[in-house]
Amino acid sequence: MTGQIYRPCVGIMLLNRQGLAFVGKRRNKGAVDPEILGFEWQMPQGGIDEGEAPLDAALRELHEETNVTSVTLLAESPHWRSYDLPLDAAKRWKGKYRGQTQKWFALRFTGEESEIDIERPGGGAHTPEFDAWRWERLELLPELIVPFKRAVYERVLEDFAHLAGKG
């Protein structure tokens, strides 16, 4: 790989009133590496546009992936969390990025579940990222994510686990 730059992104831990986190099952976008089968679940995340504040990016990405706008901010992670992409995944970016660095936000979902619409996210303005979703216990999140992101999820849990029960 030629690039050593990390793509700036946000991650969102969306917590419901029971302290469970939203996870979406990523749509299969072609051939899936057999080593990551079974790890298709993740919390919402996405890139930060040039000039965009991280919190604004988090709220935008959440809406674009889940249709959710009814949230309150609980916390912002104190650190940026980075991971390297596996070589086959990094090839899609043609060496521009080595991986991603993420600023994570914990948000409380304050709406009704009918607001969540992964089939027509952003009111139908965006391509669906997920083909299923569920609320999940925080301690299970690292087991659901692709292995190369697991350490980030473990750090995010350290940052936000204390918020789960405050709904």
pLDDT of 130: 95
Residue 96, pLDDT score? 77
Residue at token pair 């919402």: 44
Per-residue CA distances from 143 to 105, 108, 151, 157 (Å): 20, 22, 11, 12
pLDDT attached to residue 2: 44
For residue 3, the model assigns a pLDDT of: 45
Whole-number pLDDT of residue 140: 94
| pLDDT value of residue 167 | 58
Locate the domains of the chain by residue range. Answer: 6-28+39-163
DSSP string, 18-40: TSPEEEEEEP--S---GGGTT--
Half-sphere exposure of 160 (CA within 13 A, CB side): 31
pLDDT of residue 44: 97
Which of the following CATH numbers is that of domain 6-28+39-163: 3.10.110.10, 3.40.50.11540, 3.90.79.10, 3.30.365.10?
3.90.79.10
Q: How far is CA 98 from CA 10, 58, 93, 105, in A?
A: 16, 22, 9, 23
Q: What is the pLDDT of residue 1?
A: 39
DSSP 78: E
CA angle in degrees (0–180, nearest 5) for 164-58-35? 75
- The Cα–Cα gap between 40 and 166 comes to 28
Residue-wise pLDDT tens for the chain (167 aa)? 344 589 999 999 999 999 999 999 988 755 455 454 556 899 999 999 999 999 999 999 999 999 999 999 999 999 999 998 887 665 666 667 888 999 999 999 999 999 999 999 988 999 999 999 999 999 999 999 988 999 999 999 999 999 987 55
